[in-house]
């Protein structure tokens, strides 16, 4: 009995000591772990290796189990699933000297197993709650599969659709992209308290300006003015950091002569001192080694020195810190304080996630079974997917009647599943996707006869399937034809000089259109395509991007009018690849464009205008947006400008409209864009219903960088333009007075 009482007492004492130590500030706990670590172990915390499950480059270290045991890596990526991560974690916490838990990262970009629309598509929803909900589900599923950390959001602005990674960001505009970036961080991280193991660390990438490579060629050089960088490219990173993102990833590219991974100005002066980022910086994949190829480092040891001293805390897959950092410290080239600082940042994340208390917190088989691909997650994915669809053209064809008796569902993507998950689809599998044919079948049941054929492949010049497809179209009441890109045609390492529709797909549409049947073109792709003929001739054209697991159901919702399309383009669609970059917020130039006036800034052989502009997208109803009504005609320093706008559904269907507010600074000491998005609201209206929307413009909305790169607002007139697309606005003028 006495023994039992003693044991109970000791147990209580132990628990209360553990509880007290849990309550100690994280900093103290981090320091107490750090104090026990050897230099090798600290460097281990600064090292991230892939397991052999998947990679986006060479897998240079296969022996990761031994690495864990020896404390040579503090984090792993690409491992997922409770069984696998639990086993790896077990090795770390049972077989390594200090028993420090591992951090598991993965590219959970748009869903883990339930795949959501690609990020560019989600941005097209202009629905901030939908964007957040998508990231929440991704985090829920990823955390249920043993993961702690996603390498997302990717917030790189791009104005170049040749760049394959355009699919992974939010498009061309700093304001929209910033809103999306912050929402995605909040979705992944929740309140970032990690009280429940259903959120994961976010990683803002790629710092910085990765979306502006010369020629749209992935990994290529970036060279831009500091003004352009700060006004256009920096804001989304900043928004994500302000939203609390715990980690930042460096970029592969150089920025104005210095590769991001060794760029002290970027990683320390700007990120730490100016943006006050407190978290951890991880490099991109082998980007330390690549400093040698860039030509700024003599060898990989030198590269390690440059990277660590610039501010790269964790080395992804270069094994450069592992091989060289100890020597650099011993030679006095890297102060131990810098190593301590980086290791501390990594340990801190592990404490924040609660891994020191319970390294298996994210390893719950039961939750893994329940959460992943649950009905709830699929239904959220369907909702986000239909909100991401943009109706580009509709000559009275859509919505199709549900009474349709015979429908031809044609094209190489009509019955396809594998491509629907798009690039960066984590653990997603095509077999879980609802194809377009299945989605239509789910919607219309057995009442409809579906005639399906590919007609052609996505690539190649074989037209031998056209005749059969045309025959089916002839027999049908209406035709839906699904064409576009396969999933590896956009994404990382997928830049293209020709961004028209691949293969003979456009010819297939032309052949089908000759039947005169009502026809809907459903585009599935990862980037804006140059499709002027379709853009001007298709009876109906739906941009569905790559919508993920629920793609077919979501498209069917739109085709048959159960959901009224509400998406708006987050990026301009060029008419011709030679126009790139084409974006709405361009400068006026001294010779603004006027068609047919040769001595203007224009092309001889193509208009300046995009095929479809930023902010554009149709609905099955129509909306009237009134003139913006500001609450004052002039404003002074410290005052806000409130703008009221009336929007009315003038059609006969319920629908959502995205009301967009742009400004233009008419005269300034530095040239200003012809329009800059400053606010938007998505509003749902019944037929005939009106709403008065209120926008508030703050001082920062009128500010720009002056000639000394200081933020300023100059007195003078500003146009406030409101509409439902960047090319369809009504304007009013307000004046800023001294």
As annotated, the active-site residues are: 284
Using CB under 6 A as the binding rule, the residues of this chain from 87 to 126 that contact ligand NOJ are: 107
- The residue (of 285 and 704) whose beta carbon lies closer to ligand NOJ is 285
For ligand NOJ, the closer CB: 151 or 194: 151
Q: How far is the CB of 490 from ligand NOJ (least distance, A)?
A: 14
User: What are the backbone dihedrals phi and psi of residue 184, each rounded to the nearest 5 degrees, phi first?
Assistant: -70, -40
Pairing of strands 75-77, 47-50: parallel
What is the smallest separation between the CB atom of 78 and ligand NOJ, expressed in angstroms? Answer: 7
**Would you say 85 or 505 has its CB closer to ligand NOJ?**
85
Q: Which residues contact 14 (CB under 8 A, 6 or more apart)?
A: none
Residue 241's CB: how many other CB atoms inside 10 A? 23
Residue with tokens 């001082």: 699
Q: Which lies closer to ligand NOJ via its Cβ, residue 280 or residue 645?
A: 280
Omega prior to 581 cis, within 30 of 0: yes
Please identify, using beta-carbon distances, which residue of 102 and 329 lies nearer to ligand NOJ. Answer: 102
Asked if 284 is part of the footprint of ligand NOJ (rule: CB under 6 A), the reply reads yes
Nearer to ligand NOJ, 282 or 408 (CB): 282
Is residue 682 close enough to count as binding ligand NOJ by CB under 6 A? no
Cα separation of 407 and 449, whole Å? 6
Cβ proximity to ligand NOJ: between 151 and 545 the closer is: 151
Options 186, 205, 441, 682; binder of ligand NOJ; rule CB under 6 A = 205
> Quick check: 390 and 566 in contact, CB under 8 A?
no
Residue 287 is inside which H or E element, if any?
Answer: none
Judged by beta carbon, residue 155 or residue 519, the one nearer ligand NOJ is: 155
To the nearest whole angstrom, how small is the minimum distance from the Cβ of residue 491 to ligand NOJ? 10
CB of 492 to ligand NOJ, least distance (A): 6
- The Cα–Cα gap between 304 and 282 comes to 13
List the helix and strand counts (H, then E) for the chain: 22, 27
Can you tell me whether residue 450 is helix, strand or coil? strand
What is the closest distance, in whole angstroms, from the C-beta atom of residue 316 to ligand NOJ in the complex? 7
How many CB atoms neighbour CB 224 within 10 A?
14
C-alpha angle 302-307-309 in degrees, rounded to nearest 5: 95
Distance CA 162, CA 159 (A): 9
List beta partners, residue 282. 249, 314
Minimum CB–partner distance for residue 246 and ligand NOJ (Å): 15
Burial class (CB in 10 A: 0-12, 13-18, 19+), 34: middle
Q: Would you say 151 or 584 has its CB closer to ligand NOJ?
A: 151
Identify the residue among 122, 438, 492, 665 touching ligand NOJ (CB under 6 A): 492
Pairing outcome for strands 315-316 and 390-394: unpaired
Q: What angle do CA 7, 10, 11 make, to 5 degrees?
A: 85
Compute how many residues bind ligand NOJ; rule: CB under 6 A. 7
Site for ligand NOJ in 50-79 (CB under 6 A): 56
Sketch the per residue contact string, 396 through 425, with ligand NOJ: x for CB under 6 A, - otherwise: ------------------------------
The least distance separating ligand NOJ from the CB of residue 252, rounded to whole angstroms, comes to 6
Closest residue to ligand NOJ: CB criterion: 151
Based on C-alpha coordinates, what's the Rg of the chain?
A: 27
Does position 546 interact with ligand NOJ (CB under 6 A)? The reply is no
CB of 285 to ligand NOJ, least distance (A): 4
Query: Exposed e or buried b for every residue in 280-289, given b needs 16+ CB within 10 A?
Result: bbbbbbbbbb
Q: Which of 175, 207, 229, 285 binds ligand NOJ (CB under 6 A)?
A: 285
Buried (b) or exposed (e) across 305-315, using 16+ Cβ within 10 A?
A: bbbbbbbbbbb
Cβ(351)–Cβ(45) under 8 Å?
no
Residues 6+ apart with CB under 8 A from 404: 444, 448, 477, 478
Nearest CA to 521 among 427, 423, 395?
395
User: Could you tell me the smallest distance in angstroms from the CB atom of residue 46 to ligand NOJ?
Assistant: 17
Is residue 680 within 8 A of residue 658, CB to CB? The reply is yes
Q: Note whether 151 binds ligand NOJ by CB under 6 A.
A: yes
Angle (deg, nearest 10), helices 336-352 and 26-35: 130
Nearer to ligand NOJ by Cβ, of 151 and 163: the residue is 151
Q: 424 or 616: whose CB is closer to ligand NOJ?
A: 424
Check residue 188 for interaction with ligand NOJ (CB under 6 A): no
Please give the DSSP secondary-structure letter assigned to residue 233.
I
Nearest-approach distance from CB 277 to ligand NOJ, in angstroms: 18
Asked if residues 703 and 670 have their Cβ atoms less than 8 Å apart, the reply is no
Roughly how many angstroms between the first and final C-alpha of the chain, as a whole number? 85
- Report d(CA 369, CA 365) in Å as an integer: 6
Minimum CB–partner distance for residue 275 and ligand NOJ (Å): 20
Rounded Cα distance between 554 and 576, Å, is: 30
H helical segments located in 389-504: 436-444, 466-475
Residues binding ligand NOJ (CB under 6 A): 56, 107, 151, 205, 284-285, 492
């Amino acid at each position: 009995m006495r023994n039992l009482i003693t044991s109970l007492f000791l147990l209580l004492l132990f628990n209360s000591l553990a509880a007290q130590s849990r309550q100690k500030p994280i900093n103290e706990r981090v320091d107490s772990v750090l104090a026990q670590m050897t230099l090798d172990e600290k460097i281990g915390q600064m090292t991230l290796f892939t397991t052999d499950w998947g990679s986006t480059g060479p897998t240079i270290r296969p022996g990761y189990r031994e690495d864990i045991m020896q404390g040579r890596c503090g984090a792993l990526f690409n491992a997922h699933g409770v069984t696998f991560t639990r086993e790896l974690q077990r090795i770390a916490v049972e077989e390594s000297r200090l028993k420090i838990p591992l951090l598991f990262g993965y590219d959970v970009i748009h869903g883990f197993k339930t795949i959501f629309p690609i990020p560019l598509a989600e941005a097209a929803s202009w629905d901030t709650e939908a964007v957040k909900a998508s990231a929440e589900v991704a985090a829920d599923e990823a955390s249920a599969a043993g993961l702690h950390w996603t390498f997302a959001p990717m917030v790189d602005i791009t104005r170049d659709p040749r760049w394959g990674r355009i699919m992974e960001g939010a498009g061309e505009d700093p304001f929209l992209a910033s809103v999306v970036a912050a929402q995605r961080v909040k979705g992944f991280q929740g309140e970032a308290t990690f009280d429940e193991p259903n959120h994961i660390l976010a990683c803002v990438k790629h710092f910085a300006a990765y979306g502006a490579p010369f020629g749209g060629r992935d990994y290529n050089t970036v060279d831009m003015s500091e003004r352009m960088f700060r006004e256009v490219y920096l804001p989304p990173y900043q928004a994500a950091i302000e939203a609390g993102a715990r980690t930042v990833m460096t970029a592969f590219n150089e920025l104005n002569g210095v590769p991001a991974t060794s760029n002290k100005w970027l990683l320390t002066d700007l990120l730490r001192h100016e943006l006050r980022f407190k978290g951890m910086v991880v490099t991109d994949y082998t980007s330390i080694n690549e400093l040698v190829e860039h030509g700024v480092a003599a060898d990989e040891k030198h590269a390690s020195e440059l990277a660590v001293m610039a501010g790269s805390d964790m080395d992804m897959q270069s094994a450069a810190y592992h091989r060289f950092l100890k020597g650099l410290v011993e030679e006095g080239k890297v102060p131990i304080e810098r190593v301590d600082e980086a290791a501390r940042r990594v340990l801190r994340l592990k404490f924040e996630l609660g891994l020191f208390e319970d390294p298996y917190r994210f390893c719950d088989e039961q939750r893994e079974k329940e959460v992943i691909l649950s009905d709830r997650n699929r239904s959220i994915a369907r909702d986000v997917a239909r909100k991401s669809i943009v109706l580009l053209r509709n000559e009275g064809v859509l919505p199709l009647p549900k009474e349709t008796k015979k429908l031809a569902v044609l094209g190489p993507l009509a019955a396809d599943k594998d491509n629907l998950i798009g690039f960066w689809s984590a653990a997603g599998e095509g077999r879980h996707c609802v194809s377009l044919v299945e989605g239509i079948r789910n919607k219309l049941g057995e009442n409809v006869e579906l005639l399906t054929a590919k007609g052609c492949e996505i690539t190649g010049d074989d037209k031998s399937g056209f005749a059969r497809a045309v025959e089916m179209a002839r027999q049908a009441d209406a035709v839906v034809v699904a064409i576009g890109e396969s999933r590896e045609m956009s994404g990382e390492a997928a830049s293209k000089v020709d961004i028209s529709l691949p293969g003979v797909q456009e010819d297939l549409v032309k052949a089908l259109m000759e039947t005169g049947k009502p026809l809907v073109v459903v585009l599935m792709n990862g980037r804006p395509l140059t499709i002027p003929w379709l853009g001007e001739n298709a009876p109906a054209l739906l941009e569905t991007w790559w919508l993920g697991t629920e793609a077919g159901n979501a498209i069917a919702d739109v085709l048959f009018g159960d959901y009224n399309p509400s998406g708006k383009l987050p990026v301009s669609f060029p008419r011709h690849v030679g126009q790139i970059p084409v974006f709405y917020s361009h400068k006026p130039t001294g010779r603004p464009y006027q068609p047919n006036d040769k001595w203007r800034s224009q092309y001889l052989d193509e208009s300046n205008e995009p095929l479809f502009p930023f902010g554009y997208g149709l609905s099955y109803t129509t909306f009237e947006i009134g003139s913006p009504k500001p609450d004052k005609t002039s404003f002074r320093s410290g005052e806000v400008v409130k703008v009221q706008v009336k929007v009315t559904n003038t059609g006969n269907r319920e629908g959502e409209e995205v009301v967009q507010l742009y400004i233009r600074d008419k005269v300034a000491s530095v040239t200003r864009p012809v329009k800059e998005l400053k606010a938007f609201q998505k509003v749902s209206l019944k037929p005939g219903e009106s709403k008065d929307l209120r926008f508030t413009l703050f001082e920062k909305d009128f500010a720009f960088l002056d000639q000394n790169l200081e933020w300023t607002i100059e007195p003078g007139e500003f146009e406030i333009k409101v509409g439902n697309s960047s090319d369809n606005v009504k304007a009013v003028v307000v004046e800023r007075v001294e």
